[in-house]
Homo-oligomer: A and B are copies of this chain.
Amino acid sequence: MPTQVKNLLKTYNLKATPQRITIYKIMKNLGHASADLVYKEIGDQFPTLTVATVYNVLESFVEVGLIKRRLSSNNKMFFDVNTYEHCHLYCQKTHKFLDFDDTDLMKMVHEYISKKNIENFELSTIDIQLSGYIKN
Contacts and interface: CB of A to CB of B under 8 A. Distances in A.
Contact of A127 (B69, B78, B112, B131): B131
Interface string A38-72: 00000000000000000000000000000001111
A128 interface: yes
A33 B90 CA distance: 21
A132 B128 contact: no
B77 A121 contact: no
A131 B124 contact: yes
A135 B121 contact: yes
Copies in the complex: 2
Contacts of A121: 89, 98, 130, 132-135
A9 to B, nearest CB: 23
A21 to B, nearest CB: 25
Contacts of A126: 128-131
A73 B71 contact: yes
A105 interface: yes
Given A71-B71, A75-B76, A135 B109 contact: no
